[in-house]
Chain A
Amino acid sequence: MSLALSDNTAGHRAQVHRSTRASLVGLVVAVIVVVSLAYGPFAFLTKGNQQNLTTLFIYIILGTMWNLLAGYAGMVSIGQQAFIGIGAYGIVYASDILGLGLWIGLALALVISGIVAYLVSFLAFRLSGGYFAIGTWVIAEVIYLLTTQINTLGAGAGISFTAFRGYKPEIRIAVVYWIALAAVVVAVAVTYLLLRSRLGAGFTAVRDDATAAATLGVNVTRSRRIAWVVAAMGCGLAGTLLAMTTLNVQPGSVFKIQWTAFMIFIVIIGGVGTIEGPIIGAIVFYALERYIGDVGFWYLVILGIIAIAMVLFLPKGLWGLISGNGRLRLFPTGYRLTSPLPTPIANGTPDSREGESS
């Protein structure tokens, strides 16, 4: 998709592109990967592979959602575990306790996550910056503590998820794997389309300079609220997947702040503010967890050191390295100006609508 700007200088036309050759290749590769992954359980993926990939998919969703908040809307939340917990408890409540079955339960869990996020946004948005971060954490703590007071949800002891009762284990694992795969595709696609939209341009404008964005007619609070609600629903989706994989929802486990720490590591390692970053970050994070996770607490110490070093010295993460600081884009969300004239304008600001936060 490209639209031509009129340019009077004798036949030269500057053009604004939204896609690149790399992004078309990227789309084809993404489709091939997703289709092969979907076919995997019939051919080359063992039960163990499927379970591992389900975990990876959960990480990709979480990273993508935290990145939508921090990387695009400029909001650092350390309370996203609230919505993981709500998603997990929501699906158990709707599917099992209300008896609505898996699919309606899944949908309802997402709706509940969105509604709660919308409501608490009116409290959280009274704070900004670092205090917003701690405020979201307090809200997550309150939701956690309130949950442990509800006997229907098993109070402090947790509750089993029984919607899969009657499934053979290998069927259940494959079904959950497919749901997780579909969830990743939906989460990444929704984020991508959202960021490509007018709203997405508004997010980055708000992130880079909220005052300037407001003077240009961006409704700052509304933009932030939409990002916040979408990210909450995404984390709720991850929560439902956790319930499906563990079949047992425990408050101390689904509401733990480590989830948010994981999201932050994933996004920082992969690269903040790009669609590709959290996907790369989740893969690296998963690999690190799998291969050096057995060194106990040292593992998180090492991750913390890596994260700080990357924030300070490689702020665009691994994807920034791979893509040559953003020149390669598989999921371009901005606008790209090309001109047949060798003017420095076109080369200097290839993605002027996608300013970086600095």
Chain B
Amino acid sequence: MEWANAVVQGLLLGGLYALLAAGLSLMFGVMRLVNLAHGALAIVAAYLGYVLVQNTGLPPFATIIVVIPVMAALGWVLQSTLLNTALNKQALAPILVTFGLAVILQNLMLQLFTADYRSIQVGDLAGASIQITPEIAIGVFPLITFIVGVIVIAALQQYLARTKTGRAMRATSDDREAATLMGIDNKRIYALATAIALAIVGVAGIFIGIKTQFNAYSGDTYLIFAFEAVIIGGLGSLWGTLAGGMILGVATTVGAQLFPSSGTLLADLVFLAILAFLPTGLFPKVVNG
């Protein structure tokens, strides 16, 4: 029954992919900006967590208290300075700037931490599991990841749907000029959106750091997964993104059994198949994210 186990693990892994995808989706939804530095930023958060655990003895999950505000502040500053400037320039500028940012962050991390793999140690929790049937066991940590993923998606959904700033974000997304005329400061909204996106990336980064060994190059894979989850789920649908993440998660864990040397191949093929046959994704435009 290792297949059944792989499927269960994959479904839970989907929560992590959805966390990564939510930030990407939010930034694209609000300002049509595809952040190519998204994966690198997740690894920045993972290193931040690692350094905190190593140097302060903070419990791994408690590092979130520091990582979330730091990443949010970084997002605010990045958006207010670099990215808002790029959005006002020629059409290719935002993509090129975030690509440049990814290269800078990745190589800074290589310089600081070398290419050696690190991970955030959580002790017994890493191996703990709940036996469901004699064959299927659910890991406690993957379960926590999944629950956090669902909570964050639900919270973001509610924030966008019900709060005043959430509505302002959706208004800016639909029609920037009209929103500006209604008194919405779109630069502030953009900065806020990026701050929230990076806060979520911060959470994802900590979970990546605990789940696997990572180095500066690991961000590439996570950017691709986040992007695939967004497209599979359908642009603009947060719950679709979660479903997309879960499909990818299953494809990853099952794929790792099928092609041990090319772990992500099946996930990428599933993505391409959905792009070919369901180009608007599984849940197109259910709710504006």
C-alpha gap A290/B157 in the complex (Å): 50
Residues of B within 8 A of A74 (CB): 91-92
Interchain CB contact under 8 A, B111 and A134: no
C-alpha gap A299/B220 in the complex (Å): 20
Which residue of chain A is the closest to B269 with respect to CB atoms?
A142
Q: How many of chain B's residues have a CB under 8 angstroms from any CB in A?
A: 48
A39 within 8 A of B: no
Residues of A within 8 A of B262 (CB): 145, 148-149
Assuming the contacts A134-B34, A134-B36, A301-B111, asked whether A145 and B272 have C-beta atoms less than 8 A apart, the reply is no
CB-CB contacts of B17-45 with A at 8 A, as 1s and 0s? 00000000000100011111000000000
C-alpha gap A211/B2 in the complex (Å): 52
A298 touches which of B35, B98, B111 (Cβ 8 Å): B111
Residues of A within 8 A of B140 (CB): none
A130 touches which of B94, B106, B264 (Cβ 8 Å): B94
Which of B56-64, B82-90, B180-188 sits within the interface? B82-90
Assuming the contacts A268-B96, A357-B92, asked whether A142 and B272 have C-beta atoms less than 8 A apart, the reply is yes
Residues of B within 8 A of A127 (CB): 231, 275
A117 within 8 A of B: no
Q: How far is the CB of A277 from chain B (nearest CB, A)?
A: 13
Interchain CB contact under 8 A, A264 and B96: yes
Interchain CB contact under 8 A, B101 and A137: no
Assuming the contacts A139-B272, A264-B96, asked whether A358 and B90 have C-beta atoms less than 8 A apart, the reply is yes
Which of A6-14, A30-38, A57-65, A302-310 sits within the interface? A302-310
Q: How far is the CB of B26 from chain A (nearest CB, A)?
A: 14
A134 touches which of B86, B96, B108, B227 (Cβ 8 Å): B227
Interchain CB contact under 8 A, A126 and B275: yes
C-alpha gap A316/B94 in the complex (Å): 15
C-alpha gap A297/B106 in the complex (Å): 9
C-alpha gap A42/B100 in the complex (Å): 42
B12 within 8 A of A: no
Which residue of chain A is the closest to B111 with respect to CB atoms?
A297
Q: How far is the CB of B110 from chain A (nearest CB, A)?
A: 4
Of residues 208 through 265 on chain B, the ones whose CB sits less than 8 Å from some CB of chain A are: 220, 223-224, 227-228, 230-231, 259, 261-262, 264-265
Interchain CB contact under 8 A, B96 and A307: yes
Interchain CB contact under 8 A, B103 and A303: yes
Interchain CB contact under 8 A, A156 and B261: yes
A78 within 8 A of B: yes
A141 touches which of B90, B108, B224 (Cβ 8 Å): B224
Q: How far is the CB of A213 from chain B (nearest CB, A)?
A: 14
Which residue of chain A is the closest to B112 with respect to CB atoms?
A297
Residues of B within 8 A of A22 (CB): none
C-alpha gap A148/B268 in the complex (Å): 15
Residues of B within 8 A of A305 (CB): 100, 104
A sample of 21 cross-chain residue pairs with beta-carbon separation below 8 angstroms, ordered by A number, consists of A76-B95, A130-B28, A130-B36, A130-B94, A131-B34, A133-B95, A134-B36, A135-B231, A135-B275, A138-B224, A142-B272, A145-B259, A145-B265, A149-B261, A261-B99, A301-B107, A304-B100, A308-B101, A311-B100, A312-B85, A357-B90
Query: What 3 pairs across the A-B complex have the smallest Cβ distances?
Result: A130-B34, A304-B104, A297-B107
Taking A300-B106, A311-B97 as given, write out 8 further A-B residue pairs in contact, using a Cβ cutoff of 8 Å, ordered by the A residue number.
A126-B275, A127-B231, A133-B36, A138-B271, A142-B269, A301-B104, A301-B108, A304-B100
